[in-house]
Chain A
Amino acid sequence: DTGVSQNPRHKITKRGQNVTFRCDPISEHNRLYWYRQTLGQGPEFLTYFQNEAQLEKSRLLSDRFSAERPKGSFSTLEIQRTEQGDSAMYLCASRSLGQSGNYEQYFGPGTRLTVT
Chain B
Amino acid sequence: AQRVTQPEKLLSVFKGAPVELKCNYSYSGSPELFWYVQYSRQRLQLLLRHISRESIKGFTADLNKGETSFHLKKPFAQEEDSAMYYCALKAAGNKLTFGGGTRVLVKP
Establish whether residues B94 and A91, one from each chain, have CB atoms under 8 Å apart when the complex forms. no
Q: Which of A33, A43, A95 has the most CB of B within 10 A?
A: A43
Measured CA separation A4–B51 after assembly (Å): 25
Q: Please name 14 pairs of A and B residues whose Cβ atoms are closer than 8 Å in the assembled complex, sorted by A.
A: A31-B94, A40-B101, A42-B88, A42-B98, A43-B86, A43-B98, A48-B93, A48-B94, A48-B95, A103-B90, A104-B49, A107-B45, A108-B43, A109-B43
Contact B101 A103 (CB under 8 A): no
Report A65 CB to chain B, min CB distance, Å. 16
Check A44–B94 contact: CB distance below 8 A: no
Separation of A41 and B97 alpha carbons in the complex (Å) = 12
Q: Considering only CB atoms, which chain A residue lies closest to B102 in the complex? A: A42
Residues of A close to B94: CB separation below 8 A:
31, 48, 95, 103, 105
What is the interface size of chain A, counting residues whose CB is below 8 A from a CB of the partner?
25
A-B contact count (CB 8 A): 54
B94 to chain A, nearest CB (A): 6
Cβ of A101 and Cβ of B51 under 8 Å apart?
yes
Contact with A along B29-57 (1 / 0, CB 8 A): 00010100000000111100101000000
Return the chain B residue nearest A50 by Cβ.
Answer: B93
A contact residues vs B (CB 8 Å cutoff): 3-4, 31, 33, 35, 40-45, 48, 55-56, 91, 95, 101, 103-110
- Chain B residue nearest in CB terms to A47: B95
B9, B32, B44, B98: which contacts A103 (Cβ < 8 A)?
B32
Is B98 a contact partner of A44 (Cβ separation < 8 A)?
A: yes
Residues of A contacting B32 in the complex (Cβ-Cβ under 8 angstroms): 103
Q: A108's closest neighbor in chain B, by CB?
A: B43
Closest to A33 in B: B95
On whether the beta carbons of B101 and A41 are closer than 8 Å, the reply is: yes
Which B residues lie within 8 Å of A107 (CB)?
Answer: 43-45
